[in-house]
Structure 1
Amino acid sequence: MQPTLLILAAGMASRYGSLKQIQQFGPSGETIIDYSIYDAIRAGFGKIVFIIRENFADDFKEIFEPKLKGKVETAYVFQDMDSFTGAHAIPADRTKPWGTAHAVLCAKDAINEPFAVINADDFYGREAFEKMAQFLTSKCNENTYSVVGYELGNTVSEYGSVSRGVCQVDAQGNLASIVERTKIFVEDGKIVYEDGDAKVELSPKTNVSMNFWGFAPSVFPISEKMFDQFLTDNISNPKSEFFIPIVVDQFIAGNLGVVNVIPTSSQWFGVTYKEDAPGVQASLSALVNKGEYPDNLWK
């Protein structure tokens, strides 16, 4: 059975204002998502599931359906504020979506096979998709998940702070723990994160997650249970988010299974800030010139 790729795109409209001007980086107007899907198809993924917001579903399909028709199966899932909230009453001041782990949970009815999760606006590299496809088809099961581990030094922006899942890896190459650090930045040539009022230095070689995960469908009932507890504890905090690392950390701590760390030398790049865009464009042009990608992905 071919694995599925789940793309987290529900936050895109808020960043771009509207999808009509979704950012084009490739020589033929390709978006970063186009490169991820292209890499996924050639690595052996059989289905693409997009997590989006219902109010821009039509715009989204208009962009991607003509390109992908006949090349790969597609499905669309909506991340709604009240999905999986059960008996919990959502406070009136809650406007922020519930976070990445909730977005994954919203795909529960669309996925029955091992699957990978990625962000819509991160470029992960061909090798990362090939290694993930290999894991999903040969090693993934209900108690063996995975994450692609990038070197922190390859994933920071010179224009501001970034959020990364900082990984502790054990002697067997499995994830020992992961903590979401929401403010990592470069200061005086060093990489640091803010922890309250303190600044803590991190090595550029630190393993970090860029939200490229490999899961079995067993993650859905596990997440659902954890989300219920998360709401019990956090529903009155309008900024609280149910992140994938929360689920993974509890999966490991509860001895429910292991998470293999898949190392990659792929250079990550993405658009956290609009100033990142020219660099992304230049990096993609260089890959096209080297023959890694055709100059028109879908023709």
Structure 2
Amino acid sequence: MQPTLLILAAGMASRYGSLKQIQQFGPSGETIIDYSIYDAIRAGFGKIVFIIRKDFESDFREIFEPKLKGRIAVDYVYQEMEAFTDGYAIPAERSKPWGTAHAVLCAKHAINEPFAVINADDFYGRDSFQKAATFLKDAAKPDVWSVVGYELSKTISEHGSVSRGVCAADGNGNLSAINERTKVYKDGEQIVYEDADGGKHPLEPQTPVSMNFWGFHPSVFELSERLFKEFLQKDGDKPKSEFFIPIVVDHFIKNNLGVVNVLPTGAQWFGVTYKEDAPGVQASLSALVKNGEYPDNLWK
């Protein structure tokens, strides 16, 4: 069975104001999502599911359907505030949805096979999709999930600090913990993170970090649904609380429900954390096209 790729895109519209201005980085106007889908198709994924806001569906269809028609099956799922809340009284001051794990949960009725989850506006590289597809076809089980582990040095911005989920792995290459470091940056020759008191701690350049590229068995939905109910009871009244994927993964590991394989990749990650990152992303993609990694028009 071919795996599915779930693309978290519900937050895109709020960043761009409208998908009409979605940033084009490739030589023929390709967006970062185009490269992810292209890599997913050549790695053997069989379906794309977009998680979007309902009011942007027509924009999404207009941008992606002409390109993808006849190449891969596409489905749309909406992340709406009420989804899976089972009558929970949503606080009036709550303005944004419930976070990435809630977004994944919203795809429960669209996915019945092993699947990967990625962010819409991150460039992950061909190697990551190939490793994820192999894992999902051969190894994903109710008690075996995965995360792609990037080398920290290949995920840093030259233009300011970034947040990174630093992965700790056990002797078998399985995830033992993810530590969210909210202020990671280059300090001279070193990469450091700052703690809450402003103390600096060095990190090795090869340290594996999660860029939110996960591999799941559909059993994740049942666990997420249960944990989301617990989250609402505990934190639902906090206007900015979010139900993140690492909350579900952490529970899965700590309660011995299974293991999460860390799939190491040497791929270069890029994303636009700061607007100053955009020219670098464009230059990096141009170099990949020039080297023959991608055609100069993905969908020609």
TM beyond 0.5 = yes
The residue that corresponds to 2:10 in the other structure is: 10
The residue that corresponds to 1:153 in the other structure is: 153
Q: Which segment drifts farther, 54-63 or 34-43?
A: 54-63
The residue that corresponds to 1:254 in the other structure is: 255
How far off is 1:204 after superposition?
2.0
Question: Partners of 1:138 and 1:101 in 2: how far apart?
Answer: 24
Q: TM-score, normalised by structure 2?
A: 0.97
The residue that corresponds to 1:104 in the other structure is: 104
Count of residue pairs brought into register by the alignment: 299
Question: Partners of 2:161 and 2:239 in 1: how far apart?
Answer: 22
How far off is 1:196 after superposition?
2.2
The residue that corresponds to 2:168 in the other structure is: 168
Q: Is 1:287 aligned to 2:288, yes or no? A: yes
How far off is 1:197 after superposition?
2.2
How far off is 1:278 after superposition?
0.3
How far off is 1:17 after superposition?
1.5
Percent sequence identity over aligned pairs: 73
The residue that corresponds to 1:233 in the other structure is: 234
Question: Partners of 2:96 and 2:157 in 1: how far apart?
Answer: 24
How far off is 1:252 after superposition?
0.3
Question: Counterpart of 1:209 in 2: which secondary structure?
Answer: strand
Q: Is 1:274 aligned to 2:287, yes or no? A: no
The residue that corresponds to 2:264 in the other structure is: 263
How far off is 1:182 after superposition?
3.0
Match of 1:136, as an amino acid? L
Question: Partners of 2:222 and 2:60 in 1: how far apart?
Answer: 29
Q: Which segment drifts farther, 178-187 or 276-285?
A: 178-187
The residue that corresponds to 1:207 in the other structure is: 208
Question: Counterpart of 2:109 in 1: which secondary structure?
Answer: helix
How far off is 1:222 after superposition?
0.4
Kindly report the root-mean-square deviation, in angstroms, between the aligned alpha carbons of the 2 structures.
Answer: 1.2
Alignment deviations for residues 226-275 of structure 1 (CA, whole Å, 9 cap, x no partner): 11111111112212111111110110001000000000011111111111
Alignment deviations for residues 157-208 of structure 1 (CA, whole Å, 9 cap, x no partner): 1222322211100000000011333332334443333432233332222110
Question: Partners of 2:23 and 2:56 in 1: how far apart?
Answer: 16
Question: Partners of 2:259 and 2:208 in 1: how far apart?
Answer: 17
The residue that corresponds to 1:220 in the other structure is: 221
Question: Counterpart of 1:198 in 2: which secondary structure?
Answer: coil
Question: Partners of 1:80 and 1:31 in 2: how far apart?
Answer: 25
Alignment deviations for residues 68-106 of structure 1 (CA, whole Å, 9 cap, x no partner): 011000000000111111232111111122111111000
Q: 1:169·1:176 contact (CA, 8 Å) conserved in 2?
A: yes
Question: Counterpart of 2:232 in 1: which secondary structure?
Answer: helix
The residue that corresponds to 2:50 in the other structure is: 50
Q: TM-score, normalised by structure 1?
A: 0.97
Match of 2:156, as an amino acid? V
How far off is 1:21 after superposition?
1.2
Structure-2 change in CA distance of 1:194 and 1:84 (3 Å): farther
The residue that corresponds to 1:94 in the other structure is: 94
Question: Partners of 1:72 and 1:104 in 2: how far apart?
Answer: 20
Q: Is 1:32 aligned to 2:32, yes or no? A: yes
Q: 1:28·1:295 contact (CA, 8 Å) conserved in 2?
A: yes
Match of 1:160, as an amino acid? G
How far off is 1:19 after superposition?
0.7
1:56-95 equivalent positions in 2, closer than 5 A? 56-95=56-95
Question: Partners of 1:224 and 1:193 in 2: how far apart?
Answer: 33
Question: Partners of 1:204 and 1:237 in 2: how far apart?
Answer: 36
Alignment deviations for residues 32-59 of structure 1 (CA, whole Å, 9 cap, x no partner): 0000000000000000000001111111
Alignment deviations for residues 106-153 of structure 1 (CA, whole Å, 9 cap, x no partner): 000000000000000111110110111000000001100000000111
Question: Counterpart of 1:217 in 2: which secondary structure?
Answer: coil
Q: Which segment drifts farther, 82-91 or 2-11?
A: 82-91
Gaps of 5+ in 2: none
Gaps of 5+ in 1: none
Q: Is 1:193 aligned to 2:193, yes or no? A: yes
